[in-house]
């Protein structure tokens, strides 16, 4: 996962270190968490085949093996913490009150005067990893990477509720759905929208601040493709050490 960030925030926080331990530390510091704390992505990208491992200040390079090759770009600095993305996702995908498919993490930026205190919002969701740890540890192959579009999916009928995938996820982007007795996660609204002919996710469509953009990276002439490959802001990689 990658994140597009403007220059005034670059030194405020090393976003590559947003681990579960870090998130727990945020809570101990009294920082506000909206929705369910599930840190991780700021650009949700079905990863490139031959991508750079370090993208700081560089364009994404590589080839896109999937047709279509879905991705989501999130401009973190535009997020206003309205939570409409969470509401839209929950309504579209029947997410229970205790569950989450996406969420927003927020924190105060340190090192600035109290009179100019800045809050930083971080929309997060499944990273749809190129080498998903969740898929590797699932004993029943209930979670898998779709061979056509690269989305990490769930087959609830095969899930035995062992929660190994939840433990393996570097971004804490999964939860256990008690009613269906299976793990649930973001699938880019594939079952509810994309496979029915729609071209946008519920969260991106609902965002009033233009913080979320969803598209197909296999369409090289599209505006979406150009957003990623010719970014005006610095691109940061979250948790590159996970190798996912």
Note down pLDDT in tens along the chain; length 244 residues.
444 544 333 333 333 333 455 443 433 333 332 222 222 334 555 544 433 334 444 444 456 788 899 998 888 888 998 999 999 999 999 999 999 999 888 777 766 665 555 677 878 899 898 889 999 999 999 999 999 999 999 999 999 999 999 999 988 899 999 999 999 999 999 999 999 999 999 999 999 999 999 999 889 899 988 887 776 656 656 666 666 6
Fold of 2-129+189-242: Alpha-Beta Plaits (3.30.70)
Domain borders along the chain are 2-129+189-242
Give CA angle at 177 (172, 179), nearest 5°.
175
Instruction: Report the chain's C-alpha Rg in angstroms.
Output: 17
Q: What is the predicted pLDDT for the residue at 107?
A: 74
Residue 242's pLDDT is: 66
pTM exceeds 0.85, yes or no: no
What pLDDT was estimated at residue 58? Answer: 40
Q: Which residues contact 13 (CB under 8 A, 6 or more apart)?
A: 107, 109, 120
**Exposed, middle or buried, 135 (CB in 10 Å: 0-12/13-18/19+)?**
middle
Task: Write down the pLDDT at residue 59.
Answer: 43
Q: What is the pLDDT of residue 194?
A: 97
Write down the pLDDT at residue 74: 85
Show the tokens assigned to 107: 């924190």
pLDDT value of residue 146: 95
Candidates 76, 81, 58, 103; CA nearest to 9 is 76
């Amino acid at each position: 996962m990658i994140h597009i960030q403007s220059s005034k925030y670059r030194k405020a926080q090393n976003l590559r270190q947003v681990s579960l331990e870090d998130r727990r530390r945020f809570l101990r510091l009294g920082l506000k968490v909206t929705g369910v704390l599930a840190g991780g992505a700021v650009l949700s990208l079905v990863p490139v085949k031959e991508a750079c491992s370090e993208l700081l200040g560089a364009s994404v390079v590589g080839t896109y093996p999937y047709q279509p090759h879905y991705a989501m770009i999130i401009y973190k600095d535009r997020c206003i913490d309205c939570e409409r993305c969470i509401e839209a996702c929950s309504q579209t995908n029947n997410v229970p009150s205790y569950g989450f498919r996406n969420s927003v993490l927020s924190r105060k930026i340190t090192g600035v005067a109290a009179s100019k205190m800045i809050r930083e919002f971080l929309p997060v969701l499944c990273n749809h990893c190129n080498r998903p740890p969740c898929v590797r540890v699932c004993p029943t192959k209930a979670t898998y990477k779709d061979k056509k579009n690269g989305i990490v999916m769930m087959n609830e009928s095969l899930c035995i509720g062992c929660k190994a995938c939840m433990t393996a996820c570097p971004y804490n982007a999964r939860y256990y759905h008690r009613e269906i007795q299976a793990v649930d996660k973001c699938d880019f609204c594939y079952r509810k929208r994309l496979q029915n002919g729609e071209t946008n996710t519920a969260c991106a469509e609902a965002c009033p601040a233009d913080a979320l953009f969803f598209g197909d990276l296999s369409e090289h002439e599209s505006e979406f493709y150009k957003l990623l490959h010719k970014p005006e802001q610095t691109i940061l990689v979250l948790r590159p050490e996970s190798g996912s």
